[in-house]
Chains A and B, each alone.
Chain A
């Protein structure tokens, strides 16, 4: 065995994952006679066992341990999967026979392993068993993403759920995802929160931008800034601001400025443009006299569509024949605010979309005291409110587009003095509302409400304080405070959802949340729930909220759909129905519910036929970032970075920001390999990565030319692939030092799919460590391995970890450790020698590349199916590998092959 640089049979590896055994033999091993069945056992296997194992494993020698001749008949022997699984693992890992005993040849090892694989873990490749996934609930990520993608709710309610337990390395495995009363309590609370968020109506959002001359953005020309004035002196000069308008509506553009006066009637004006289209003209009544002087306020109301806009001011000179003075608009201030017209309240996108253009509530305009401009008298503003100390008014423009009855409500306060309460009134051009008395005690708030008929047009809405008073003795003054007011209407109108519309919205939500069309009895049940809520006094919109709550707590939402056989069954298996297929795809690739396109295709029975195109589309969608977050986060253990706590004394450089950047590097490489359909071997081999300036410095490389993360070549660095990312190197270290054991274990489990066998039952305690021991770590681990009981595992675990000793506990390159040169060489238990990580890596991506790809495939399959992969899946894994290999291991092809595999596409059905 020693001369053998690569022992192929080691690839016939077997992993135990909690009692489920995975035994898969490389197709490459299949050459030669097929050793299966009792004949093969008696002829080829038994002689090997007798020669190498009989010293400890026969009835006479076993002393209570396992004996290969201890079975009454061959049928019993071959049925003992548990023992043979373990035997396979130990033989493949060169842990049995023990080191001091005579070792079988590579061919002999292979004979045993192949027999175990073909006979003990026999599968009929003509009758592939698709296996079955236990009814599984949504995990936290799936819940959050589903309500986000279906209902547009971003609040991540599932973050409050208990953490999901994991099995087989992933937290989406049905067998271990349980539901407790605590879960139900959280589901109820989350459903209420989500339903409220979907159906809640908020006041229309307001915009308010206030800019002094020096804050105004110059868009064109060369305006001059002089003494807090921005001088626009030619039609080429343009200055203004870029604003985000939340909803289409009427906004006010206001400026304080002075302009050139050409003659008595002909003043310059200020043209207002929105994205270069003229929308209004302002005519400030203050003259520019060549030097800074008085300015006047001018404003216009204009409709601005929702979205981001460039609002610009230009000087505009009236057409005139002769001796025009130089055109000038001197801008002191620019403000954009609004809306100034009643608008329907803001509904969630989901609800608004369902209601089309309909207003879901009475239009409302809400203005704070601060939105009022000074009119006359002594008044001013204070933290959002307006106060009035003498008779006079403040005003705001109000645009009414539909005549009718409106409701006005005022939130007011007073500083009472004298023998009557504060009184105020509203004056419009042709009428008056009020006067109203403010009877609240000083400092208290009070609401005053009235109804009025309002005509169409731009109203000059003036709020007057009408009974000023000053006590001659005490000098106490009567003041009026205006906090805010609202104008709602027209009150007569058809607002909100009707019962029928609510029922329709609920039905649509049910289809998306249950991820299939509702059966007629389900629709009726939903309608009954809605009607009973309406009967209990709820509005249709509130009743909709109740209905959504019910949908969100239903097991039909909380659990993944159960597959149904589509068409007939054959050999004990049938295709799963396309609706379930849609869910499998979307929860695999997006950790979320199917979108409309997937659902429609499945409803029409056309999803399976367009599988490849859909997988490609889904991987191109930003939602596929869930694969990085949830699959890569667990496969590569990136999530553990949140728990990494390098010793702050030894590693002061480390902080949560660095940890986040480490994680991002690996995520970016993963995303790159996925989006560009690169070979999955790039995970081990990539000679490029993505670095921020800080990470580049961490790696001792020069910072990328641009800000943020940039793709960087590693040509001048020994680093290659994810194994040498700081993220992986940190999570596989102890807080104070590196851990070759953890690194070796990480490599074996996550890159090579080799589970270390369980520790033997009688591990002796580790020898007492001498005080002041200064042996290098490697030496100490070697001592540890001298003990036969420890050696079994550590000869497997440690060497691959040694190869990474050139990287410290937070992933920095180090030529020495504690003053000694690092020795990154080693020898794998299967015999291969390596000088350092590049050599070991060469081995992994070369002769042993299939082991890596198989390991990745099994991880993906586990994640895609939500169940542990068993030996019964080995035919499927083999098929996926062959398909992936034929496309040079492109990551997208590998994922497609998983989606096309028997366990993903089929279910057990009919008689087996």
Chain B
């Protein structure tokens, strides 16, 4: 019995048990039709790289327009890659603003960035957010690759107690949401991320069949237990159990896919655990993204370099103060200077990553040519928590569908979700609305 028919029968069993495990409710999604399943010749890849706390806007903002714009001081490290990226201005996330909800801009920034939906302000009893665009994409095209999507983070910091102004911590620490109530946690350990991509399920050795059968017995056992439980619980608890069942089915399918189309182990030293140096940690994750894209093990990756509200200090670049504390700079020049230094540190990491992608040949071009790398965050001006004119860099050529090397000024205000729509379309989704979008962002 192959993996496909197994997962189908699994679904049948679930349906028979009266457990709702259909695709998670796509609340943020507008009307859409089925995606084209056929892979394009060179597959396109998409990565969202998230940086927190806003930027020193004056140092970030580029001047001029079109192809002849002038790079800003903060973006200077990207100069050698000038033809490979576009600087985008004028995009907003209205649902990240206080609106009727008051404080909590950092939680909201993370929760809204990829969903475009205003998260329900709650400390826990009834969390509700939209499905994030990366998960929508992963759920549509994910079955073509080993992992439908990969979520990474270099920020394992968890402050205790209540998070941001009455928001459950689930909002502040998760960019990706697979359903309105299911945040998708990110992997922080480079080694574990590597092993998810390349480590286990290698076909070929002798006992593989026996092990597969035993594993299937274990999964069958567990599924039956879940059904027994499902019969005993009420509606509120069923949501929780559905998360479990959905995730279990998902993993089962992943295992099946991995067995059918094993990904060759890349010629790369298996990373160890989490390194002490932050920069090294970030670059290790970039390495893993590059490897994953190169091996076509997944085409959809989100990477949180730090959680919004992060209080990371940067003594290694002469900024001993905490990032979030600094971001409330009150116009103080010395403080703004330090923010710019942190901004530039992050941009340097981006430049390193883009160079890495550019150095990997694929088809007639490079891996960067096939990719779309959106770098940015959901706060522009940290002092006031502005969610307008977000700082964004879009790199790569998306397999010829992007036209970098310019400044793109969107008519202000344009919803950020218009860019999400534009990128999702390039990933093969037939989608014309997402979150609070008003269309697809043209001209990218």
A contact residues vs B (CB 8 Å cutoff)? 16-20, 132, 134-137, 160, 162-169, 171, 173-176, 178-185, 188, 191, 525, 529, 532-533, 536-538, 546, 549-550, 553-556, 558-559, 562, 633-634, 637-640, 643, 645, 647-650, 734-736, 749-750, 755, 758-761, 765-769, 771, 867-868
Indicate if the CB atoms of A162 and B169 lie closer than 8 Å: no
Indicate if the CB atoms of B247 and A179 lie closer than 8 Å: yes
Indicate if the CB atoms of B162 and A184 lie closer than 8 Å: no
CA distance A558 to B236 in the complex (A): 17
Contact residues in B for A537 (Cβ distance below 8 Å): 210
Q: In this assembly, does B218 line the interface, its C-beta being within 8 Å of a C-beta of chain A?
A: yes
Closest to A189 in B: B200
Closest to B174 in A: A165
Contact residues in B for A759 (Cβ distance below 8 Å): 102-103, 165
Indicate if the CB atoms of A180 and B123 lie closer than 8 Å: no
Indicate if the CB atoms of B383 and A17 lie closer than 8 Å: no
CA distance A557 to B24 in the complex (A): 25
CA distance A614 to B189 in the complex (A): 41
CA distance A633 to B161 in the complex (A): 10
CA distance A695 to B233 in the complex (A): 52
The 10 closest A-B pairs by CB, nearest first: A18-B123, A167-B124, A162-B185, A768-B331, A758-B102, A135-B237, A647-B320, A18-B122, A17-B123, A550-B221
Please give the distance in Å from B227's CB to the nearest CB on chain A.
Answer: 10
User: Can you give 15 A-B contacts (C-beta < 8 A)?
Assistant: A19-B126, A135-B233, A160-B189, A167-B168, A169-B161, A182-B187, A183-B185, A550-B217, A634-B160, A638-B160, A640-B160, A643-B159, A645-B322, A766-B330, A768-B331
Please give the distance in Å from A572's CB to the nearest CB on chain B.
Answer: 15
Indicate if the CB atoms of B165 and A758 lie closer than 8 Å: yes
Indicate if the CB atoms of A184 and B127 lie closer than 8 Å: no
Additional 9 contacts, C-beta under 8 A, given A179-B240, A645-B315:
A136-B240, A168-B123, A175-B168, A182-B151, A529-B218, A553-B218, A555-B226, A562-B232, A749-B161
A160's partner among B192, B250, B330 (CB-CB below 8 A) is B192
Indicate if the CB atoms of B102 and A184 lie closer than 8 Å: no
0/1 string, B318-348, CB within 8 A of A gives 1: 0011100100101111000000000000000
CA distance A174 to B127 in the complex (A): 11
CA distance A162 to B152 in the complex (A): 11
Contact residues in A for B383 (Cβ distance below 8 Å): 765-766
CA distance A549 to B211 in the complex (A): 13
Contact residues in B for A640 (Cβ distance below 8 Å): 159-160
Please give the distance in Å from B255's CB to the nearest CB on chain A.
Answer: 9
Contact residues in A for B247 (Cβ distance below 8 Å): 179-181, 183-184
A19-B122, A536-B210, A759-B165 known; A181 vs B254 contact (CB < 8 Å): yes
Please give the distance in Å from B415's CB to the nearest CB on chain A.
Answer: 21
CA distance A191 to B248 in the complex (A): 14
A176-B168, A182-B151, A765-B383 known; A639 vs B221 contact (CB < 8 Å): no
Indicate if the CB atoms of A555 and B222 lie closer than 8 Å: yes
Q: In this assembly, does B41 line the interface, its C-beta being within 8 Å of a C-beta of chain A?
A: no
Indicate if the CB atoms of B187 and A734 lie closer than 8 Å: no
Contact residues in B for A20 (Cβ distance below 8 Å): 122-123, 125
Closest to B240 in A: A135
0/1 string, B165-188, CB within 8 A of A gives 1: 111111001100010011111110
Please give the distance in Å from A514's CB to the nearest CB on chain B.
Answer: 9
Contact residues in B for A165 (Cβ distance below 8 Å): 168-170, 173-174, 183
CA distance A168 to B225 in the complex (A): 30
A736's partner among B120, B226, B320 (CB-CB below 8 A) is B320
CA distance A559 to B315 in the complex (A): 42
Q: In this assembly, does B425 line the interface, its C-beta being within 8 Å of a C-beta of chain A?
A: no
Number of inter-chain CB pairs below 8 Å: 244
A18's partner among B103, B121, B232 (CB-CB below 8 A) is B121
Indicate if the CB atoms of A176 and B251 lie closer than 8 Å: no
CA distance A867 to B168 in the complex (A): 12
Contact residues in B for A768 (Cβ distance below 8 Å): 330-332
A20-B125, A556-B229, A562-B233 known; A176 vs B222 contact (CB < 8 Å): no
Contact residues in A for B315 (Cβ distance below 8 Å): 645, 647-648
CA distance A68 to B360 in the complex (A): 66
CA distance A163 to B186 in the complex (A): 9
Please give the distance in Å from A724's CB to the nearest CB on chain B.
Answer: 20
Indicate if the CB atoms of B241 and A555 lie closer than 8 Å: yes
Q: In this assembly, does B423 line the interface, its C-beta being within 8 Å of a C-beta of chain A?
A: no
Indicate if the CB atoms of A550 and B178 lie closer than 8 Å: no
Contact residues in A for B214 (Cβ distance below 8 Å): 533, 536, 538, 546
Contact residues in A for B181 (Cβ distance below 8 Å): 178
CA distance A736 to B325 in the complex (A): 10
Contact residues in A for B178 (Cβ distance below 8 Å): 180
Indicate if the CB atoms of A734 and B322 lie closer than 8 Å: yes
CA distance A585 to B233 in the complex (A): 22
Contact residues in A for B210 (Cβ distance below 8 Å): 536-537
Q: In this assembly, does B313 line the interface, its C-beta being within 8 Å of a C-beta of chain A?
A: yes
CA distance A326 to B316 in the complex (A): 72
Contact residues in B for A769 (Cβ distance below 8 Å): 330-332
Within 8 A of A (CB), among B228-244: 228-229, 232-233, 236-237, 240-241, 243-244
B330's partner among A181, A562, A767 (CB-CB below 8 A) is A767
CA distance A331 to B165 in the complex (A): 74
The winner among B161, B167, B170, B174 for most chain A CB atoms within 10 A is: B161
Indicate if the CB atoms of B156 and A169 lie closer than 8 Å: no
Indicate if the CB atoms of B233 and A734 lie closer than 8 Å: no
CA distance A645 to B323 in the complex (A): 11
Please give the distance in Å from A756's CB to the nearest CB on chain B.
Answer: 9
CA distance A166 to B123 in the complex (A): 9
Q: In this assembly, does B65 line the interface, its C-beta being within 8 Å of a C-beta of chain A?
A: no
CA distance A132 to B125 in the complex (A): 11
CA distance A638 to B159 in the complex (A): 10
Indicate if the CB atoms of B218 and A178 lie closer than 8 Å: no
Contact residues in A for B280 (Cβ distance below 8 Å): none
Contact residues in A for B124 (Cβ distance below 8 Å): 17-18, 167-168, 173, 175-176, 867-868
CA distance A761 to B187 in the complex (A): 35
CA distance A633 to B160 in the complex (A): 8
Please give the distance in Å from A645's CB to the nearest CB on chain B.
Answer: 4
Indicate if the CB atoms of A553 and B222 lie closer than 8 Å: yes
Please give the distance in Å from B181's CB to the nearest CB on chain A.
Answer: 7
CA distance A639 to B159 in the complex (A): 7
Indicate if the CB atoms of B161 and A637 lie closer than 8 Å: yes
A134-B240, A175-B125, A562-B233 known; A182 vs B222 contact (CB < 8 Å): no
A166-B161, A537-B210, A734-B321 known; A18 vs B168 contact (CB < 8 Å): yes
Q: In this assembly, does B282 line the interface, its C-beta being within 8 Å of a C-beta of chain A?
A: no
Closest to B334 in A: A771
CA distance A529 to B248 in the complex (A): 19
Q: In this assembly, does B279 line the interface, its C-beta being within 8 Å of a C-beta of chain A?
A: no
Contact residues in A for B202 (Cβ distance below 8 Å): none
Indicate if the CB atoms of B240 and A167 lie closer than 8 Å: no
Please give the distance in Å from B184's CB to the nearest CB on chain A.
Answer: 5
Q: In this assembly, does B9 line the interface, its C-beta being within 8 Å of a C-beta of chain A?
A: no
Contact residues in A for B98 (Cβ distance below 8 Å): 761
Please give the distance in Å from A685's CB to the nearest CB on chain B.
Answer: 23
Contact residues in B for A19 (Cβ distance below 8 Å): 120-123, 125-126, 166
Contact residues in B for A171 (Cβ distance below 8 Å): 158
Contact residues in A for B438 (Cβ distance below 8 Å): none
Contact residues in A for B167 (Cβ distance below 8 Å): 18
Indicate if the CB atoms of A761 and B222 lie closer than 8 Å: no
CA distance A761 to B104 in the complex (A): 11
Contact residues in B for A760 (Cβ distance below 8 Å): 102
B325's partner among A639, A734, A868 (CB-CB below 8 A) is A734
Contact residues in A for B359 (Cβ distance below 8 Å): none
Contact residues in B for A179 (Cβ distance below 8 Å): 182, 240, 243-244, 247
CA distance A181 to B21 in the complex (A): 14
A134's partner among B161, B236, B322 (CB-CB below 8 A) is B236
Contact residues in A for B187 (Cβ distance below 8 Å): 162, 182
CA distance A555 to B322 in the complex (A): 41
Contact residues in B for A766 (Cβ distance below 8 Å): 328, 330-331, 383
